[in-house]
Amino acid sequence: MTRLLQVSALTRRFGGLTAVQDLTFDVGEREILGIIGPNGAGKTTAINLVSGVIQPSGGKVVFGGQTITGLPAYRLARKGLVRTFQSTTVYGERSVRENALRGAYLSLYPGFFNTVFNSAKARKMRARTEDIVDELLAWLSLTSVAHAAAGSLPYGYQKTLGLAITLASRPRLVMLDEPVAGLSAEEADHIRDTILKIRSRGITVIVVDHNMRFIKGLCDRVLVMNQGHELAMGSPAEVLANPKVIEAYLGRGHAAAHTN
């Protein structure tokens, strides 16, 4: 498999605390990599480092053969590497379509509103963006709610809208931080199916969660983190059978809650 992302010895300190230490892994083109681990393991910090939201204290990140270590998030987004934020989701009183369009403008044409408002070029960009968004809404089965106020929809739809906004930027690699947190089992299954569909479009996915059941049904490989370190890496079956992983979860009273 072609390597899309290579992370070497990535490290981030916050004062005296090392949140991520010597993390090394790679992700293949069109792979779905899961990152799991107990609370505070460094999962969110790891994806914030890779996506340029925060800067590393050490280490190296290569994306599509280019060294991208330390580049800011907006430059990485233009190269096709993005992470989702829950807060991109919604202006509750605006429609799903308006929310998606706004997200698409921001990601496709940063600076759009300051520069070319109302020119012929702007009209062309607008039409093109509307096409992209309408196609995405249809693809994600959101057309029937496109004109509903986003805030009136069940939380699961709002999460899917968050994915639509991210996809509008045409990414090659998306990173999702706990995409099913707070969802029912049924809604989580829907998000899992949606992530599989995203991959079927040729997009590579890194998904962070602490729900084993969700990760097991979704990921090709799983990186398990504990206290900033890699604890294990392998197929879902391999890592779930790994005594070190079982101990890290059982030791903190996690296993019963998250394996079924």
Ligand X SMILES: Nc1ncnc2c1ncn2[C@@H]1O[C@H](COP(=O)(O)OP(=O)(O)O)[C@@H](O)[C@H]1O
Q: Among residues 21, 44, 84, 166, which is the contact residue for Mg ion, using CB under 5 A?
A: 44
Q: Which two tokens stand for residue 106?
A: 């921001």
Q: Please name the helix (run of DSSP H) or strand (run of DSSP E) that holds residue 33, with its range, or none.
A: strand 32-36
Task: For the CB of residue 15, give the shortest distance to ligand X in the complex, in Å.
Answer: 7
44 or 194: CB nearest Mg ion? 44
Q: Which long-range contacts (CB under 8 A, 24 or more apart) does 196-201 make?
A: 196/32, 197/139, 197/140, 198/163, 198/167, 198/174, 199/30, 199/32
37 or 140: CB nearest Mg ion? 37
Burial class of residue 111 in the structure, from the number of CB atoms within 10 Å of its CB (0-12 exposed, 13-18 middle, 19+ buried): exposed
22 or 178: CB nearest Mg ion? 178
DSSP 144: G
Q: Is 99 in the site for Mg ion (CB under 5 A)?
A: no
Q: Taking CB within 5 to 8 Å according to partner kind, which of Mg ion, ligand X, none is near residue 83?
A: none
168 or 183: CB nearest ligand X? 183
Nearest 5°: the CA angle 257, 258, 260 is 95
Q: Taking CB within 5 to 8 Å according to partner kind, which of ligand X, Mg ion, none is near residue 155?
A: none
Window 36-65: residues binding ligand X (CB under 6 A): 37, 39-45
Window 125-154: residues binding Mg ion (CB under 5 A): none
Task: For the CB of residue 50, give the shortest distance to ligand X in the complex, in Å.
Answer: 12
Q: Which residues bind ligand X (CB under 6 A)?
A: 14, 17, 19, 37, 39-45
Q: Which residues bind Mg ion (CB under 5 A)?
A: 44
